């Protein structure tokens, strides 16, 4: 299949053996591009290993289908080879990503990675998929790869959403101006990037609290495996503090709200709308149940493994959270804004009046006279030298003066014109009476 100048495989992603066959097909079709030096050599070696493992699986399947021999032993052998094949595919993905970082023009490697990512996405491995997409974005691959994957009909809708997210991240990478915050924890540093474009209120609130030192010494007071790590309330010295003393409006109802993928930051709320304040969660897995209920306002871009190390403080049974005895929660040592856009970060608290548009000022009934008493330099008159042309206002005043004077002396002007006419007639008569001799005499 061809789309936007790139060749993509037509493939139904079910058994791992099919995935191995596809990757081998790429290898054969593009053998002329084989490189002998690392990291490409590692890619080629892993593809050769996959060929051998795929052949072993085919042989074992044939033996099982004959019904001859020890079926239990054959099934165990098949599973061992399959596990090794899965490990090899993961290594191949990482080796291809390394090779792409060195040479993003090798379409065979990009296609191999995208094939693996489609399979991972369909299996719900959103963290692995999106982290790999981040590497591809940094390498500068064409967005057509993500566009194709986001429309792939052979994978589930939830899997396609991962590639929609990758397209957004690619645009954000190009702009490279989203705010970032460094969270120093007792387990290590976490760097987060904030979704100011989709959640400006939550981001402004978060930045304000970070800059005020609110999150320093905050506990990860509720960490539940495969769900979330929550912080932003209790501290090591004050276990009774829960909020910042106000609430902000939710932005999870907006059409461009971001989903709850693994490693995103999201506002913690009670069971009702617009109840977020200072507490937030870090999603430890893709959590579709929180979409449309909690505002996602950022994601981890560095330090993903730190969340895996956080002490689990509670378990959830039938929707109820139960504390784990003797669990000592981890904590945020300090939080620091390390980058933000060049503007003031303001947010509206619940209960604050909305900003109303100013009513238009009606036009004045009479012309206003410019005043120069307010000290405004822009309203000061221009200074001109005596030799410069007079201003329009001066000309108008003079013109008005002349007009008035003209009206008052109209009678005198009429008499002067009549007198001039009589003189002209007399001159013409004298000229007619002159003879040629008179002309010669004059000369």
Nearest to 303 by CA among 406, 183, 385: 183
Q: Residue 386: is its pLDDT beyond 70?
A: no
Mean pLDDT of the chain: 82
Longest CA–CA span in the chain (Å) reads 157
pLDDT of the residue at 68:
85
Q: How confident is the model at residue 19 (pLDDT cuts 50, 70, 90)?
A: low
Summarised one tens digit per residue, pLDDT across range 239-295 is: 999 999 999 999 999 999 999 999 999 999 988 899 999 999 999 999 999 999 999
Confidence check: pLDDT of 11 > 50 = no
Q: Which residues contact 378 (CB under 8 A, 6 or more apart)?
A: none
pLDDT at 426 (0 to 100): 53
Is 219 a residue whose pLDDT tops 80? yes
Helix (H) / strand (E) containing 211: helix 200-211
pLDDT score for 16:
52
Cis amide prior to 39 (ω within 30 degrees) = yes
Q: Which of 37-41, 86-90, 319-323, 330-334 has the lowest mean pLDDT?
A: 37-41
Q: What is the mean pLDDT of residues 344-366?
A: 74
Q: How many residues does the chain have?
A: 443
**For 143-170, what is the mean pLDDT?**
96
Tens digit of pLDDT for each residue in 63-94? 999 988 889 999 999 999 999 999 999 999 99
Task: Tell me the C-alpha distance between 13 and 353, whole Å.
Answer: 54
The predicted pLDDT at position 356 comes to 58
Is the pTM value of this prediction over 0.85?
no
Within 10 Å of residue 259's Cβ, how many Cβ atoms? Answer: 20
Walk me through the domains of the chain, giving residue ranges and CATH numbers: 2-175 (no CATH), 180-339 (2.40.100.10)
pLDDT in tens, 123-138: 999 999 999 999 999 9
pLDDT over threshold 90, residue 191? yes
């Amino acid at each position: 299949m061809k789309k936007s100048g790139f060749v993509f495989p037509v493939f139904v992603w079910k058994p791992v053996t099919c995935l191995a066959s596809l990757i081998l097909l790429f290898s054969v079709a593009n053998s002329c591009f084989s490189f002998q030096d690392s990291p490409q050599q590692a890619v080629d070696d892993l593809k050769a290993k996959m060929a051998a493992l795929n052949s072993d699986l085919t042989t074992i399947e044939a033996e099982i289908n004959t019904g001859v021999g020890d079926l239990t032993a054959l099934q165990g052998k098949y599973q061992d080879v399959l596990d090794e094949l899965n490990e090899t595919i993961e290594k191949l993905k990482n080796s291809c990503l390394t090779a792409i970082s060195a040479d993003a023009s090798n379409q065979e490697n990009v296609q191999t990675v995208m094939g693996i990512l489609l399979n991972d996405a369909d299996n719900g491995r959103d963290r692995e998929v999106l982290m790999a997409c981040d590497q591809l974005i940094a390498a500068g691959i064409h967005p057509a790869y993500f566009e194709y994957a986001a429309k792939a009909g052979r994978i589930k809708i939830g899997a396609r959403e991962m590639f929609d997210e990758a397209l957004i991240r690619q645009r954000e990478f190009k702009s490279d101006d989203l705010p970032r915050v460094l969270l120093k924890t007792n387990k290590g540093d976490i760097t987060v990037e904030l979704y100011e474009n989709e959640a400006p209120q939550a981001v402004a609130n978060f930045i304000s609290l970070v800059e005020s030192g609110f999150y320093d010494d905050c506990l990860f007071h509720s960490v539940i495996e495969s769900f979330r790590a929550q912080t932003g309330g209790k501290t090591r010295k004050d276990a009774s503090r829960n909020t910042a003393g106000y609430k902000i409006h939710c932005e999870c109802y907006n059409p461009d709200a971001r989903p709850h993928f693994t490693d995103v930051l999201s506002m913690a709320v009670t069971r009702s709308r617009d109840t977020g304040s200072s507490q937030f969660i870090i999603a430890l897995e893709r959590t579709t149940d929180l979409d449309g209920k909690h505002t996602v306002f950022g994601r981890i871009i560095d330090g993903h493994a730190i969340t895996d190390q956080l002490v689990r403080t509670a378990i959830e049974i039938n929707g109820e959270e139960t504390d784990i005895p003797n669990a000592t929660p981890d904590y945020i040592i300090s939080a620091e804004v390390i980058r933000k856009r060049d503007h003031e970060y303001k947010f509206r608290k619940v209960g604050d009046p909305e900003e109303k548009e100013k009513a238009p000022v009606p036009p004045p009934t009479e012309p206003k006279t410019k005043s120069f008493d307010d000290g405004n330099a822009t309203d000061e008159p221009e200074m001109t030298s005596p030799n410069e042309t007079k201003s329009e206002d001066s000309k108008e005043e003079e013109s008005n003066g002349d007009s008035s004077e003209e009206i008052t002396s109209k009678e005198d002007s009429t008499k002067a014109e009549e007198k001039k006419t009589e003189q002209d007639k007399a001159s013409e008569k004298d000229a007619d009476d002159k003879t040629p001799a008179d002309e010669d005499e004059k000369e």
